[in-house]
């Protein structure tokens, strides 16, 4: 039981890291596009 909770916690942490990374890339991409269009 404890192991399953631990794995679940690590998966959530991993997904959060990937999600925040994607958000950062999108922010950079969009701000770059805004600069190009101005």
* Averages of pLDDT over each 10 residues, the chain, 38 residues: 88 95 94 77
pLDDT at position 1, please? Answer: 65
**Residues 1, 9: Cα–Cα separation, whole Å:** 13
Question: Sign of the C-alpha dihedral, residues 8, 9, 14, 15?
Answer: positive
Tokens standing for 16?
């959060």
What pLDDT is recorded for position 14? 94
Q: What is the DSSP string of 14-37?
A: HHHHHHHHHHHHHHHHHHHHHHHH
């Amino acid at each position: 039981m404890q192991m399953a909770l631990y794995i679940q916690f690590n998966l959530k942490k991993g997904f959060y890291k990937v999600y925040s990374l994607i958000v950062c890339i999108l922010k950079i991409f969009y701000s770059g596009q805004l600069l190009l269009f101005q």
